[in-house]
Amino acid sequence: MTDIATRVYNHKWKIDPIVRSLLDTDFYKLLMAQTIFRRQRDTRVTFSILNRSKDIRLADLVEESALREQLDHARSLRLTRGESTWLRGNMFYGKRQMFAPEFIEWLEGFQLPAYDLRVRDGQYELEFDGPWLETTFWEIPALAILNELRSRAVLAAMGKFELQVLYARAMTRVWEKVQRLKALPGLQIADFGTRRRHGFLWQDWCVQAMIEGLGDAFTGTSNCLIAMRREVEAVGTNAHELPMVYAALADSDAELAAAPYQVLRDWQEDYEGNLLIILPDTYGTTHFLAAAPSWVSSWTGIRVDSKDPIEGGEEAIRWWRERGEDPRKKLAIFSDALDVTAIERIHYHFAGRMRFGFGWGTLLTNDFRGFAPDGALDPISIVCKVVSANGRPAVKLSDNPAKAMGPAAEVERYKRVFELEERAERPVLV
Amino acid sequence: MTDIATRVYNHKWKIDPIVRSLLDTDFYKLLMAQTIFRRQRDTRVTFSILNRSKDIRLADLVEESALREQLDHARSLRLTRGESTWLRGNMFYGKRQMFAPEFIEWLEGFQLPAYDLRVRDGQYELEFDGPWLETTFWEIPALAILNELRSRAVLAAMGKFELQVLYARAMTRVWEKVQRLKALPGLQIADFGTRRRHGFLWQDWCVQAMIEGLGDAFTGTSNCLIAMRREVEAVGTNAHELPMVYAALADSDAELAAAPYQVLRDWQEDYEGNLLIILPDTYGTTHFLAAAPSWVSSWTGIRVDSKDPIEGGEEAIRWWRERGEDPRKKLAIFSDALDVTAIERIHYHFAGRMRFGFGWGTLLTNDFRGFAPDGALDPISIVCKVVSANGRPAVKLSDNPAKAMGPAAEVERYKRVFELEERAERPVLV
């Protein structure tokens, strides 16, 4: 029995929007936005998309008009009444009223700002320039749109049966991963896969798989919309953009050296508990920890991102011990290019030595590796990063030189200020 | 957008019928029925269900009322106008009008005869007694109903997400098998999986997977309804019931010894070409071939069923050579408990030495092994066999003593008449 109304409705869509809600973004964007709202309302920041997978020529795969339609649709979105109610009424990290009424009022009037799109050498040059408070909101939807448009371009050539088999295989793969994770005693794992997801519906399915398969070991999703709809925790803390902007705004080398700690000083005025997670790798973890003021070691935990996870975790444990802290009361969050084998290795390595959790991203929500010829659905490494703040260039060094960004002269200056030694590059997977 | 009408319609079903068409049966049933229609209209034959998987207590799993509802629903079916048109107009095995108008007229008035159902020791005793021409039609729907009711009993305890993952895994498994088969040059394979299928919709999906994945290597399905709907070949030839009934009706040992060849003599009056496939194992392949009249070796091929397939194929090649036939012009059909590894082994063993094809059954349409706790969805070995004809007991010996059936004294007599030596049992998988 074909429902003619449904069929006609489906066929009259002008576009199939990828981002349908302002809450289809990562929770830490809201946390950071509130901090920016309070302290940096006049700061202008430019974000720029960078596709590190140069051989994937996105502008050849995805029509510019289709990309513009999706970006324009995202710009048309406003916070809905129900979404606003959820932000006001929901408990986040065990706390009510995480967001101040004046911030939510501002958010209710918010729309994504203008974008600047050009094509060069088969790649999209996509930039967002404007008040930091506004441009920061583009990162996640812009990446999700690019990734899903690329998936759709590949899926467009497939027949109905082929698609069914594709998703059956993908579901089987995720479910087998979840079953392996289930075997890890005391596991704590969250979905961090919004930006690089295969598609929105797929991320939503992956979250359901985690809910069904992991029970309490699943600690939540970074995606606010999915957290709201599936009634699970919204999770996340803060990102490199905070120290990058603070650093870019510094007027002297001394201010630059102090900038990453100023971020934490501001953050702990706004948040507490499990939201006090240091992200130490923006300009090199080792120096960051060594030079950190004493109050920093009282924070709840550390996110280990661009460094080899075993090395990064061991470094955190050593540091806590040196600072007189008990690592078993501290929390490490691992979040870089994780898949099940790495999670198992990290889990058994650190079991009992500290508290830790995983933020599982791309290889949860976009592991279609090998499911299309020539790896056409394999995830790509694409990021949206701060390139300047109030006209000054932004720099990221990270623990992996392959992830360094910024003008060469500034990179050298930062290396000097943050006493960064030469390190070996690690391949950037996703 | 929920379509309320569809939803209400779905929820007002009294039962969800398993068999919805008289054509939801194996093609060889129609071929055999036409032969019975012409020669054995007065013969009465009793069929009986035998569950060889004793540890699966079907009567504990499946409600008797549910079984009766399904059997009664099957009895309510009549050949539809479109089905009759297809039988009259379709080309089978390259031939038009395979079925005589008088046989189709009879079939248009046919309904499944009464059944006799009792429960003993956790098992259903299900018998069909009446004219052979009628009772023969119960074999496939009765088995399909029992198998699907058992699947449904297990599925009833699963949630929506669990079911989705279950079918994703099953699809992935079938698709991976199909991909492996695709690598076999010159493969010829058909679906023989109606009777032991997980369910009707699942068999239909498996056939689509074969169509999509194998192209010309897929030679068709034994299921008439699916062949009609998917517009592929309906395939099959004949089964053990023919020699079993002919043998039971024999009035002397001499007639008994001649009975299996009389089956072929009658059959070749009705059919030709690729329908001339000897099924030699009913009372032991070796004796059957050695004692066969000279005209038997001119038949197109041999079905290797209960014997080890390599051994059975080699025996066929030797026999053709002894009879002055060129094995490369002959056809062997392998059909017993096949899965991909066995198919590959047989394929590479016989490649270039004779023509051969595969009738893939249970492990195509019901391979849910390991997908439910305690193997609750693993296929079971259940058959529907002739137990008597005109009141005389029927006997089957086969090449595998584990499959022998009939009263002990009769079995001994048959062994003597067919000069059957003691042989080792092979485990009956499915």
In a domain, A349, yes or no: yes
Q: Determine, for residues A209 and B159 on separate chains, whether the beta-carbon distance falls below 8 Å.
A: no
In a domain, A201, yes or no: yes
Instruction: Quote the pLDDT of residue B337.
Output: 86
SS3 content of chain B, % helix, strand, coil (to 5): 50, 15, 35
Please determine, for residue B185, whether its predicted confidence score (pLDDT) is greater than 90: yes
Cα(B315)–Cα(A286) distance, integer angstroms: 75
DSSP element (H, E) containing B270: helix B253-270
The confidence band for B7, taking pLDDT boundaries of 50, 70 and 90, is: confident
Q: How many domains does chain B have?
A: 1
In a domain, B72, yes or no: yes
Chains A–B, number of C-beta pairs less than 8 Å apart: 52
Instruction: Quote the pLDDT of residue A427.
Output: 73
Cβ neighbours of residue B75 closer than 8 Å, sequence gap 6 or more = B111, B112, B113, B114, B115
In a domain, A385, yes or no: yes
Chain A residues with CB-CB distance to B5 below 8 A: 1, 3
In a domain, A295, yes or no: yes
pLDDT per residue of chain A (430 residues) written in tens, 0 to 9 = 778 888 888 888 889 999 999 999 999 999 999 999 999 999 999 999 999 999 999 999 999 999 999 999 999 999 999 999 999 999 999 999 999 999 999 999 999 999 999 999 999 999 999 999 999 999 999 999 999 999 999 999 999 999 999 999 999 999 999 999 999 999 999 999 999 999 999 999 999 999 999 999 999 999 999 999 999 999 999 999 999 999 999 999 999 999 999 999 999 999 999 999 999 999 999 999 999 999 999 999 999 998 999 999 999 999 999 999 999 999 999 998 899 999 999 999 999 999 999 999 999 999 999 999 999 999 999 999 999 999 999 999 999 888 889 999 999 999 999 998 777 777 766 6
Q: What percent of chain B has pLDDT over 70?
A: 99
CATH code, B204: 3.20.140.10
Among chain A residues, the shortest Cα distance to B1 is held by: A6
Chain B residues with CB-CB distance to A178 below 8 A: none
Instruction: Quote the pLDDT of residue A199.
Output: 97
Q: Determine, for residues B165 and A171 on separate chains, whether the beta-carbon distance falls below 8 Å.
A: yes
Give the count of beta carbons closer than 10 Å to the beta carbon of residue B157. Answer: 10
Chain B residues with CB-CB distance to A161 below 8 A: 208-209, 212
Which backbone phi and psi does B209 adopt, to 5 degrees?
-65, -40
The greatest distance separating any two alpha carbons of chain B, rounded to the nearest whole angstrom, comes to 72
pLDDT tens figures, B111-130: 999 999 999 999 999 999 99
Nearest Cα to Cα of residue B174 among A169, A176, A163, A155 = A169
DSSP 3-state of A146: helix
The reported pTM is 0.91
Instruction: Quote the pLDDT of residue A2.
Output: 77
DSSP 3-state of A139: helix
**What does the CA dihedral A126, A130, A134, A139 come to, rounded to 10 degrees?**
20
Please determine, for residue B65, whether its predicted confidence score (pLDDT) is greater than 90: yes
In a domain, A261, yes or no: yes
Shortest distance, CA B388 to any CA of chain A (angstroms) = 45
Of A5, A6, A172, the CB nearest to B168: A172
Residue environment code for A188-226, b if the CB has 16+ CB neighbours within 10 A, otherwise e? bbbbbbbbbbbbbebbbbbbbbbbbbbeebbbbbbbbbb
Shortest distance, CA B372 to any CA of chain A (angstroms) = 14
In a domain, A266, yes or no: yes
pLDDT tens figures, A166-188: 999 999 999 999 999 999 999 99
Residue A313 token pair: 């975790």
SS3 content of chain A, % helix, strand, coil (to 5): 50, 15, 35
Q: Which residue has the tokens 């934490």?
A: A264
Q: Using alpha carbons only, give the angle B356, B360, B361 rounded to the nearest 5 degrees.
A: 150
DSSP 3-state of A66: helix
> Would you say the ipTM is above 0.85?
yes
Give the count of beta carbons closer than 10 Å to the beta carbon of residue A165. Answer: 25
DSSP 3-state of A25: coil
Chain B residues with CB-CB distance to A163 below 8 A: none
Among chain A residues, the shortest Cα distance to B211 is held by: A161
Among chain B residues, the shortest Cα distance to A210 is held by: B161
Instruction: Quote the pLDDT of residue A228.
Output: 98
In a domain, B427, yes or no: no
Residue environment code for A19-53, b if the CB has 16+ CB neighbours within 10 A, otherwise e? bebbbbbbbbbbbbbbbbbeebeebbbbbbbebee
Cβ neighbours of residue B354 closer than 8 Å, sequence gap 6 or more = B313, B316, B317, B320, B327, B328, B330, B331, B332
Nearest Cα to Cα of residue B87 among B38, B33, B142, B134 = B33
Among chain A residues, the shortest Cα distance to B212 is held by: A161
Q: Determine, for residues A161 and B209 on separate chains, whether the beta-carbon distance falls below 8 Å.
A: yes
Q: Determine, for residues B175 and A159 on separate chains, whether the beta-carbon distance falls below 8 Å.
A: no
Nearest Cα to Cα of residue A416 among A397, A401, A388 = A397
User: Which residues form the domain of A168?
Assistant: 4-418
Chain A residues with CB-CB distance to B1 below 8 A: 5-6, 9
Cα(A413)–Cα(A424) distance, integer angstroms: 19
Amino acid present at B117: L
Amino acid present at A363: L
